[in-house]
Amino acid sequence: MPKIAVIGAGNVGASAALYLAEAELGDITLVDIVEGVAKGKALDLLEAGPVRGYDTMIEGTGDLRAIAGSDLVLVTAGLPRKPGMSRLDLLKANADIIRGVAQAIREHASKAFVIMITNPLDVMTYLTYRVTGFPRERVVGMAGVLDSTRFRSFLAAEIGVSIEDIQAMVLGGHGDTMVPLVRYSTVGGIPIEKFIVKERLEQIVQRTRDGGAEIVKLLQTGSAFYAPAASAVQMAESILKDKKRLLPVAAHLNGEYGFRDLFLGVPAILGSRGLEKIVELELTSEESAALKKSADEVRKGIADLELEPATR
Ligand code: APR
Protein backbone atom coordinates (compact mmCIF):
# COMPACT_ATOMS: atom_id res chain seq x y z
CA MET A 1 0.00 0.00 0.00
CA PRO A 2 1.34 3.46 -0.80
CA LYS A 3 1.68 5.81 2.15
CA ILE A 4 -0.18 9.09 1.84
CA ALA A 5 0.18 12.05 4.19
CA VAL A 6 -2.47 14.74 4.38
CA ILE A 7 -1.18 17.84 6.14
CA GLY A 8 -3.97 19.96 7.59
CA ALA A 9 -6.98 18.05 8.95
CA GLY A 10 -9.49 20.85 8.41
CA ASN A 11 -12.36 20.84 5.94
CA VAL A 12 -10.31 20.13 2.82
CA GLY A 13 -7.86 17.73 4.49
CA ALA A 14 -10.52 15.60 6.17
CA SER A 15 -12.62 15.46 3.00
CA ALA A 16 -9.54 14.44 1.00
CA ALA A 17 -8.79 11.71 3.54
CA LEU A 18 -12.34 10.40 3.14
CA TYR A 19 -12.11 10.30 -0.68
CA LEU A 20 -8.64 8.70 -0.49
CA ALA A 21 -9.92 6.07 1.92
CA GLU A 22 -12.99 5.28 -0.16
CA ALA A 23 -10.78 4.79 -3.22
CA GLU A 24 -8.35 2.70 -1.12
CA LEU A 25 -5.43 4.58 -2.64
CA GLY A 26 -3.11 4.04 0.33
CA ASP A 27 -2.66 4.20 4.07
CA ILE A 28 -3.29 7.69 5.35
CA THR A 29 -1.55 9.84 7.93
CA LEU A 30 -3.54 12.94 8.83
CA VAL A 31 -1.42 15.68 10.41
CA ASP A 32 -2.62 18.88 12.04
CA ILE A 33 -1.07 21.43 14.33
CA VAL A 34 -4.16 20.83 16.48
CA GLU A 35 -3.34 17.26 17.38
CA GLY A 36 -6.75 16.27 18.71
CA VAL A 37 -8.44 17.31 15.47
CA ALA A 38 -6.13 15.08 13.42
CA LYS A 39 -6.48 12.17 15.83
CA GLY A 40 -10.23 12.52 16.24
CA LYS A 41 -11.02 12.81 12.53
CA ALA A 42 -8.66 9.93 11.67
CA LEU A 43 -10.36 7.70 14.21
CA ASP A 44 -13.80 8.71 13.01
CA LEU A 45 -12.80 7.95 9.39
CA LEU A 46 -11.32 4.61 10.42
CA GLU A 47 -14.56 3.70 12.15
CA ALA A 48 -16.54 4.47 8.99
CA GLY A 49 -14.47 1.84 7.15
CA PRO A 50 -16.49 -1.26 8.07
CA VAL A 51 -19.72 0.40 6.90
CA ARG A 52 -18.28 1.94 3.75
CA GLY A 53 -16.15 -1.11 3.00
CA TYR A 54 -12.66 0.33 2.89
CA ASP A 55 -9.67 -1.39 4.43
CA THR A 56 -7.52 1.71 4.60
CA MET A 57 -5.35 2.42 7.67
CA ILE A 58 -5.86 5.96 8.88
CA GLU A 59 -3.94 7.57 11.71
CA GLY A 60 -3.89 11.09 13.07
CA THR A 61 -1.06 13.01 14.66
CA GLY A 62 0.24 16.44 15.56
CA ASP A 63 3.79 15.49 14.67
CA LEU A 64 5.03 16.28 11.17
CA ARG A 65 7.76 13.64 11.54
CA ALA A 66 5.03 11.04 11.02
CA ILE A 67 5.08 11.83 7.29
CA ALA A 68 8.39 9.91 7.07
CA GLY A 69 8.45 7.54 4.10
CA SER A 70 5.34 8.98 2.45
CA ASP A 71 4.94 8.39 -1.27
CA LEU A 72 2.59 11.31 -1.65
CA VAL A 73 1.86 14.37 0.48
CA LEU A 74 -1.27 16.47 0.11
CA VAL A 75 -0.86 19.89 1.67
CA THR A 76 -4.00 21.64 2.95
CA ALA A 77 -2.58 23.37 6.02
CA GLY A 78 -3.38 27.02 6.26
CA LEU A 79 -6.09 29.55 6.71
CA PRO A 80 -9.13 29.43 4.43
CA ARG A 81 -10.34 32.57 2.73
CA LYS A 82 -12.87 34.60 4.73
CA PRO A 83 -15.55 36.83 3.15
CA GLY A 84 -14.03 39.96 1.66
CA MET A 85 -10.54 38.48 1.79
CA SER A 86 -8.78 38.02 -1.55
CA ARG A 87 -6.53 35.04 -2.17
CA LEU A 88 -3.59 37.40 -2.06
CA ASP A 89 -4.56 38.63 1.42
CA LEU A 90 -3.95 35.08 2.50
CA LEU A 91 -0.48 35.05 1.09
CA LYS A 92 1.59 36.26 4.03
CA ALA A 93 -0.22 34.18 6.62
CA ASN A 94 -0.15 30.98 4.63
CA ALA A 95 3.44 31.45 3.41
CA ASP A 96 4.66 31.19 7.01
CA ILE A 97 2.76 27.93 7.48
CA ILE A 98 3.81 26.45 4.12
CA ARG A 99 7.48 27.29 4.68
CA GLY A 100 7.48 25.10 7.78
CA VAL A 101 5.50 22.33 6.14
CA ALA A 102 7.77 22.28 3.08
CA GLN A 103 10.87 22.09 5.29
CA ALA A 104 9.36 19.09 7.05
CA ILE A 105 8.61 17.42 3.70
CA ARG A 106 12.20 18.02 2.55
CA GLU A 107 13.52 16.57 5.78
CA HIS A 108 11.19 13.62 6.41
CA ALA A 109 9.64 12.71 3.06
CA SER A 110 12.37 13.51 0.57
CA LYS A 111 11.10 11.02 -2.04
CA ALA A 112 7.46 12.12 -1.96
CA PHE A 113 5.26 13.66 -4.61
CA VAL A 114 3.61 16.82 -3.33
CA ILE A 115 0.17 18.11 -4.28
CA MET A 116 -0.42 21.62 -2.96
CA ILE A 117 -3.96 22.79 -2.18
CA THR A 118 -3.39 25.75 0.15
CA ASN A 119 -4.13 29.18 -1.34
CA PRO A 120 -2.96 31.35 -2.97
CA LEU A 121 -2.35 28.17 -4.84
CA ASP A 122 0.20 28.96 -7.52
CA VAL A 123 2.34 30.97 -5.11
CA MET A 124 2.24 28.34 -2.35
CA THR A 125 3.18 25.64 -4.88
CA TYR A 126 6.14 27.76 -6.01
CA LEU A 127 7.21 28.27 -2.41
CA THR A 128 7.10 24.52 -1.80
CA TYR A 129 9.11 23.85 -4.96
CA ARG A 130 11.76 26.31 -3.78
CA VAL A 131 11.91 25.21 -0.14
CA THR A 132 11.92 21.45 -0.82
CA GLY A 133 14.35 21.70 -3.74
CA PHE A 134 12.43 18.80 -5.31
CA PRO A 135 12.43 18.41 -9.12
CA ARG A 136 9.42 19.96 -10.79
CA GLU A 137 8.05 16.50 -11.62
CA ARG A 138 7.31 16.03 -7.90
CA VAL A 139 5.63 19.32 -6.98
CA VAL A 140 2.26 20.22 -8.49
CA GLY A 141 -0.68 22.34 -7.44
CA MET A 142 -4.40 21.62 -7.53
CA ALA A 143 -6.48 24.35 -9.12
CA GLY A 144 -7.37 23.62 -12.73
CA VAL A 145 -9.21 20.39 -11.94
CA LEU A 146 -11.38 22.32 -9.48
CA ASP A 147 -11.97 25.25 -11.82
CA SER A 148 -12.81 22.81 -14.63
CA THR A 149 -15.17 20.73 -12.51
CA ARG A 150 -17.04 23.89 -11.54
CA PHE A 151 -17.24 24.91 -15.20
CA ARG A 152 -18.38 21.37 -16.12
CA SER A 153 -21.13 21.27 -13.54
CA PHE A 154 -22.52 24.65 -14.63
CA LEU A 155 -22.39 23.59 -18.31
CA ALA A 156 -24.11 20.26 -17.63
CA ALA A 157 -26.94 21.98 -15.77
CA GLU A 158 -27.35 24.62 -18.47
CA ILE A 159 -27.42 22.18 -21.39
CA GLY A 160 -29.30 19.46 -19.54
CA VAL A 161 -26.80 16.65 -20.19
CA SER A 162 -24.83 14.31 -17.97
CA ILE A 163 -21.71 15.71 -16.35
CA GLU A 164 -20.00 12.59 -17.69
CA ASP A 165 -20.18 13.95 -21.22
CA ILE A 166 -18.73 17.37 -20.47
CA GLN A 167 -15.03 18.03 -20.85
CA ALA A 168 -13.60 21.44 -20.02
CA MET A 169 -10.19 23.02 -19.81
CA VAL A 170 -9.28 25.96 -17.59
CA LEU A 171 -5.78 27.45 -17.72
CA GLY A 172 -3.90 30.06 -15.73
CA GLY A 173 -3.60 31.00 -12.10
CA HIS A 174 -6.22 29.98 -9.55
CA GLY A 175 -8.07 33.21 -9.06
CA ASP A 176 -10.04 35.89 -10.78
CA THR A 177 -7.64 35.79 -13.73
CA MET A 178 -8.11 32.11 -14.60
CA VAL A 179 -8.65 31.39 -18.29
CA PRO A 180 -11.56 29.01 -19.03
CA LEU A 181 -10.94 27.79 -22.59
CA VAL A 182 -14.33 27.71 -24.24
CA ARG A 183 -12.81 26.51 -27.54
CA TYR A 184 -11.44 23.40 -25.86
CA SER A 185 -14.58 22.56 -23.89
CA THR A 186 -16.96 19.98 -25.34
CA VAL A 187 -20.14 17.94 -24.84
CA GLY A 188 -19.57 14.42 -26.11
CA GLY A 189 -16.77 15.80 -28.27
CA ILE A 190 -18.97 18.59 -29.72
CA PRO A 191 -17.88 22.18 -28.98
CA ILE A 192 -20.07 23.76 -26.27
CA GLU A 193 -20.63 26.81 -28.49
CA LYS A 194 -23.07 24.62 -30.47
CA PHE A 195 -25.29 24.35 -27.38
CA ILE A 196 -25.13 27.71 -25.61
CA VAL A 197 -25.38 31.22 -27.06
CA LYS A 198 -22.36 33.45 -26.62
CA GLU A 199 -23.82 35.84 -24.05
CA ARG A 200 -25.01 33.02 -21.80
CA LEU A 201 -21.68 31.24 -22.16
CA GLU A 202 -19.92 34.39 -21.02
CA GLN A 203 -22.08 34.45 -17.89
CA ILE A 204 -21.18 30.83 -17.14
CA VAL A 205 -17.48 31.58 -17.66
CA GLN A 206 -17.79 34.46 -15.21
CA ARG A 207 -19.58 32.28 -12.67
CA THR A 208 -16.71 29.79 -12.99
CA ARG A 209 -14.18 32.56 -12.31
CA ASP A 210 -16.17 33.58 -9.25
CA GLY A 211 -16.84 29.96 -8.21
CA GLY A 212 -14.71 30.08 -5.07
CA ALA A 213 -16.07 33.45 -3.97
CA GLU A 214 -19.68 32.31 -4.50
CA ILE A 215 -19.18 29.56 -1.95
CA VAL A 216 -17.24 31.76 0.49
CA LYS A 217 -20.16 34.19 0.44
CA LEU A 218 -22.67 31.45 1.20
CA LEU A 219 -20.66 29.67 3.89
CA GLN A 220 -19.61 32.90 5.65
CA THR A 221 -17.13 31.01 7.84
CA GLY A 222 -14.82 29.32 5.35
CA SER A 223 -14.29 28.24 1.78
CA ALA A 224 -15.20 25.31 -0.46
CA PHE A 225 -13.90 21.90 0.47
CA TYR A 226 -15.71 18.95 -1.13
CA ALA A 227 -14.86 19.84 -4.74
CA PRO A 228 -11.29 20.96 -3.88
CA ALA A 229 -10.65 17.71 -1.99
CA ALA A 230 -12.16 15.56 -4.74
CA SER A 231 -10.04 17.35 -7.34
CA ALA A 232 -6.81 16.79 -5.41
CA VAL A 233 -7.66 13.11 -4.96
CA GLN A 234 -8.17 12.72 -8.72
CA MET A 235 -4.62 14.03 -9.22
CA ALA A 236 -3.31 11.73 -6.48
CA GLU A 237 -4.99 8.75 -8.08
CA SER A 238 -3.45 9.49 -11.46
CA ILE A 239 0.02 9.54 -9.90
CA LEU A 240 -0.39 6.55 -7.58
CA LYS A 241 -2.08 4.35 -10.19
CA ASP A 242 0.02 5.67 -13.07
CA LYS A 243 -3.18 6.47 -14.93
CA LYS A 244 -1.59 9.22 -17.01
CA ARG A 245 -4.67 11.44 -16.84
CA LEU A 246 -4.43 14.65 -18.84
CA LEU A 247 -5.56 17.29 -16.36
CA PRO A 248 -5.11 20.98 -15.83
CA VAL A 249 -2.33 21.19 -13.24
CA ALA A 250 -0.42 24.04 -11.61
CA ALA A 251 3.03 23.17 -12.92
CA HIS A 252 6.48 24.75 -12.88
CA LEU A 253 7.01 26.31 -16.30
CA ASN A 254 10.42 26.44 -17.81
CA GLY A 255 9.79 28.07 -21.14
CA GLU A 256 6.42 26.42 -21.84
CA TYR A 257 3.78 28.92 -22.95
CA GLY A 258 6.58 31.50 -22.95
CA PHE A 259 6.94 31.64 -19.14
CA ARG A 260 9.88 30.77 -16.96
CA ASP A 261 10.20 29.99 -13.27
CA LEU A 262 6.64 30.28 -12.12
CA PHE A 263 3.70 27.95 -11.48
CA LEU A 264 0.65 28.28 -13.66
CA GLY A 265 -2.28 26.05 -14.61
CA VAL A 266 -1.58 24.15 -17.84
CA PRO A 267 -2.72 20.81 -19.30
CA ALA A 268 -0.37 18.07 -18.12
CA ILE A 269 -0.08 14.31 -17.89
CA LEU A 270 0.20 12.91 -14.36
CA GLY A 271 1.62 9.43 -13.87
CA SER A 272 4.00 7.43 -11.73
CA ARG A 273 6.79 9.89 -12.55
CA GLY A 274 4.58 12.76 -11.37
CA LEU A 275 4.35 15.62 -13.84
CA GLU A 276 5.26 13.60 -16.92
CA LYS A 277 4.47 16.04 -19.69
CA ILE A 278 3.14 19.55 -20.15
CA VAL A 279 0.90 19.84 -23.18
CA GLU A 280 1.27 23.10 -25.08
CA LEU A 281 -1.90 24.30 -26.81
CA GLU A 282 -2.05 26.89 -29.52
CA LEU A 283 -3.83 29.90 -28.11
CA THR A 284 -5.56 32.80 -29.82
CA SER A 285 -4.10 36.23 -29.17
CA GLU A 286 -6.97 36.92 -26.77
CA GLU A 287 -6.34 33.72 -24.80
CA SER A 288 -2.59 34.40 -24.72
CA ALA A 289 -3.20 37.89 -23.39
CA ALA A 290 -5.49 36.51 -20.65
CA LEU A 291 -2.88 33.91 -19.70
CA LYS A 292 -0.18 36.58 -19.55
CA LYS A 293 -2.36 38.68 -17.24
CA SER A 294 -2.83 35.66 -15.01
CA ALA A 295 0.91 34.93 -15.00
CA ASP A 296 1.63 38.57 -14.05
CA GLU A 297 -0.69 38.16 -11.07
CA VAL A 298 1.12 35.00 -9.93
CA ARG A 299 4.49 36.72 -10.39
CA LYS A 300 3.36 39.55 -8.13
CA GLY A 301 2.48 36.99 -5.45
CA ILE A 302 5.85 35.28 -5.84
CA ALA A 303 7.58 38.67 -5.48
CA ASP A 304 5.66 39.20 -2.22
CA LEU A 305 7.36 36.08 -0.83
CA GLU A 306 10.65 37.99 -0.92
CA LEU A 307 12.72 34.88 -1.69
CA GLU A 308 16.35 34.92 -2.73
CA PRO A 309 16.72 34.76 -6.55
CA ALA A 310 16.25 31.24 -7.93
CA THR A 311 19.41 29.29 -8.63
CA ARG A 312 17.83 26.68 -10.87
N1 APR B 1 0.66 22.36 10.35
C2 APR B 1 -0.39 21.53 10.23
N3 APR B 1 -1.66 21.97 10.18
C4 APR B 1 -1.88 23.28 10.21
C5 APR B 1 -0.82 24.22 10.34
C6 APR B 1 0.50 23.70 10.40
N7 APR B 1 1.56 24.52 10.50
N8 APR B 1 -1.37 25.46 10.37
C9 APR B 1 -2.69 25.31 10.27
N10 APR B 1 -3.01 24.00 10.18
C11 APR B 1 -4.33 23.38 10.08
C12 APR B 1 -5.41 24.04 10.93
O13 APR B 1 -5.30 23.67 12.28
C14 APR B 1 -6.68 23.54 10.25
O15 APR B 1 -7.17 22.36 10.86
O16 APR B 1 -4.83 23.48 8.75
C17 APR B 1 -6.23 23.24 8.81
C18 APR B 1 -6.93 24.07 7.77
O19 APR B 1 -8.27 23.68 7.77
P20 APR B 1 -9.49 24.69 7.59
O21 APR B 1 -9.28 25.87 8.44
O22 APR B 1 -10.74 23.90 7.70
O23 APR B 1 -9.29 25.19 6.05
P24 APR B 1 -9.72 24.41 4.73
O25 APR B 1 -11.09 24.83 4.35
O26 APR B 1 -9.43 22.97 4.91
O27 APR B 1 -8.72 25.06 3.68
C28 APR B 1 -7.33 24.81 3.72
O29 APR B 1 -7.09 24.85 1.33
O30 APR B 1 -8.60 25.34 -0.34
C31 APR B 1 -7.56 25.83 0.45
O32 APR B 1 -8.02 28.19 0.62
C33 APR B 1 -7.99 26.97 1.32
O34 APR B 1 -5.78 27.62 1.96
C35 APR B 1 -6.95 26.94 2.39
C36 APR B 1 -6.66 25.46 2.54
Per-residue pLDDT tens for 14-40?
Answer: 999 999 999 999 999 999 999 999 999
Q: Is the CB of 264 under 6 A from ligand 1?
A: no
In this prediction, residue 251 has a pLDDT band, given cuts at 50, 70 and 90, of: very high
Q: % helix / strand / coil in the chain, to the nearest 5?
A: 50, 20, 30
Q: Is the CB of 130 under 6 A from ligand 1?
A: no
pLDDT value of residue 81: 66
Nearest to 119 by CA among 75, 149, 84, 150: 75
Count of the separate structural domains present in the chain: 2
With a cut of 70, say whether residue 87 has pLDDT above it.
no
In which domain, by residue range, is 92 found?
A: 3-141
Same-domain check for residues 115 and 253: no
Same-domain check for residues 117 and 167: no
Give 12 Cα–ligand 1 centroid separation in angstroms: 8
How far apart are alpha carbons 106 and 158 in whole angstroms? 45
pLDDT value of residue 111: 98
CATH number where 214 lies: 3.90.110.10
Task: Give me the active site residues, please.
Answer: 174
CA 160: distance to chain centroid?
28
* pTM of the complete model: 0.97
The last residue of one of the domains, among 141, 168, 201, is 141
What is the dihedral sign for C-alpha 182, 187, 189, 191? negative
The percentage of residues in the chain with a pLDDT greater than 90, rounded to a whole number, is 90
Other CB atoms within a 10 A radius of the CB of residue 217 amount to 11
Least confident of 86-95, 102-111, 149-158, 214-223: 86-95
CATH number where 78 lies: 3.40.50.720
- Mean predicted confidence (pLDDT) in 144-170: 97
